[in-house]
């Protein structure tokens, strides 16, 4: 099927990009390993869809595609939450930095 070839190509590109970013020290090696496991697992499910069906049966889900969708949604929620926490942290750090910089230029009043 054409879709399998396209998706496998996408997984291969994601895998290569992941390790390229790891070698550039943009992400940690442990993160690259985690993402690589996701790309490999996705490739296995793309090439052997019955694997997802067997896993779905183990978890009491009707179809393999349903399990993939449920897991994907849960994973996306976790990633969005992580991004939210990182954004809040960066916002606080930026506020502190701007505040310190603004106060640095203020001269104390003469009494």
The answer to whether the beta carbons of residues 67 and 49 sit under 8 Å apart is: no
Which 3 state secondary structure label does DSSP give 87?
A: helix
Asked whether the whole model's pTM tops 0.85, one would answer: no
Check residue 107 and give its pLDDT. 78
Check residue 106 and give its pLDDT. 78
Question: Cα separations (Å) of 86 from 31, 60, 73?
Answer: 16, 35, 20
Q: Which residues, given as ranges, of the chain have pLDDT below 70?
A: 111
Check residue 27 and give its pLDDT. 96
Check residue 21 and give its pLDDT. 97
Check residue 111 and give its pLDDT. 60
**Domain ranges, ordered by start, for the chain:** 1-47, 64-105
Percent of the chain with pLDDT over 90: 88
């Amino acid at each position: 099927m054409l879709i399998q070839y396209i998706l496998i190509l996408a997984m291969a590109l994601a895998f290569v990009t992941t390790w390229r970013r790891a070698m550039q020290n943009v992400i940690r090696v442990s993160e690259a390993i985690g993402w690589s496991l996701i790309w490999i697992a996705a490739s296995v499910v793309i090439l052997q869809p019955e694997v997802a069906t067997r896993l779905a049966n183990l978890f009491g889900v009707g179809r393999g595609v349903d399990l993939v969708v449920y897991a994907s949604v849960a994973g996306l929620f976790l990633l969005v939450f992580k991004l939210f926490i990182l954004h809040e942290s960066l916002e606080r750090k930026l506020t502190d930095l701007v505040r310190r910089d603004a106060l640095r230029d203020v001269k104390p009043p003469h009494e």
